[in-house]
Chain A
């Protein structure tokens, strides 16, 4: 338990100490919110879908969580590079605990980041439907954060160096984001795209967040929660396996 805690604490401390990075990582969601929100807003409204800012608010919050959690997992590569990873790998504690501490730490900072994005969104004009939905929103934030922190750990454990990073970014993280329905409604899509979006775990996270924040769900809250929980378990197992096999 103390192993999980100390590694969790390490992740959180490192995050809180990198203030410039926190601010920089708020810029991207903000850009999406403001430029797309106001740029596409009129078109969205005239097609009878309501306010676009309201629609992409949860998507942008999800985006903040997705990026932060997946990158925290990939941060393992930096630890490998700077040598700190070895220090934890030879310690007489189960690697599962090390992996759990790191992943929970990553998920925690992703939730903090998601909350910061929410605040920024609210400053920009986004309004959650009611504060009673906060527990549900937090649950979906946590589930999404765990899913992608675990995925990040699995990737970070499998990559040998930073060269694969760009590949992961372009062929994994961006598609996960674009297919999640963060930016557009997942209705009336071509069949192929519908299938692709249903295979994207982020779609369930965004749908759940949207249900919590603005009461709009295209998949169903129960399905969202169950799918995320199953995927989280799967990725945690995958991440733990990959982590336990690391060689330096």
Chain B
């Protein structure tokens, strides 16, 4: 369902993604596990047509995200790592807008929005502006929005960042349900080992833009002789702390956050 071969993305001097190759089968839940700045988000951005790769090839359900952008976009849904809501619109309006963009028929749209907003306990606040929401509520709304339509491939880029355990549980239950009943292929990135172990069929450990190891959680543990996935991860990626690349957009976001507080 996802086929990636020798994918490279450089930003100036920095090689964010450095020759990544992997395949994700239809109906599989595949996790990218890696330290900050390992190239997880950049890989997702290239797969989802937000960045053009420097070199290498990709296929989403047989479609090339570089040359067949529009067709490729219709195969997937995505929950982004960083905010992507319109704060000046209400929660309901954000859902509605998403539903229209993803061609969810009007009748189904209303029902689905109600169902999902109730599931993530946002129904009471459906007519509040998103700018008045707390971080956790915004996160829940983004996830609810991600489930509004049922894509062939679902990208989840650190979806549980900033979520409380209840919502986290709700999210993974829903992801597993979608995967089992609708056969949705899931590509996720996370920092949390226990989540990766719990939901992912296979895990790829990525570091410095390269895939270090791929396999089931069990295989990774066996390969490194570690007793837990966390230790396997540390063995594979070392224990130094990484800095993420901060570009001008990130700086700008930081500045805005500073002024908003």
Contacts and interface: CB of A to CB of B under 8 A. Distances in A.
Contact of A161 (B51, B85, B102, B249): B249
Interface string B83-97: 111111100010011
A13 interface: yes
A86 B252 contact: no
A89 interface: yes
B50 A247 contact: yes
A83 B100 contact: no
A161 B101 contact: no
Given A13-B93, A89-B50, A81 B249 contact: yes
A247 B73 contact: no
Interface string A1-27: 011001100100110011000000000
B30 to A, nearest CB: 19
A90 B73 contact: yes
A86 B85 CA distance: 9
Interface in B205-261: 248-249, 251-253, 256
Chain A interface helix/strand/loop/mixed: helix
B88 A6 contact: no
What class of interface size applies to chain B in its complex with A?
A: 20 to 34
Given A3-B100, A81-B256, A90-B73, A163 B85 contact: no
Interface stretch (B74-82, B114-122, B167-175, B178-186): B74-82
10 contacts: A2-B100, A6-B101, A10-B86, A10-B97, A81-B256, A86-B50, A89-B49, A90-B76, A91-B101, A93-B101
Interface of A: 2-3, 6-7, 10, 13-14, 17-18, 79-84, 86-94, 160-163, 247-248
Interface of B: 45, 48-52, 70, 73-74, 76, 78, 80, 82-89, 93, 96-98, 100-103, 248-249, 251-253, 256
Q: Which 9 pairs, one residue from A and one from B, show the smallest C-beta to C-beta distance?
A: A92-B74, A91-B101, A83-B84, A92-B73, A6-B100, A248-B50, A83-B83, A87-B84, A161-B248
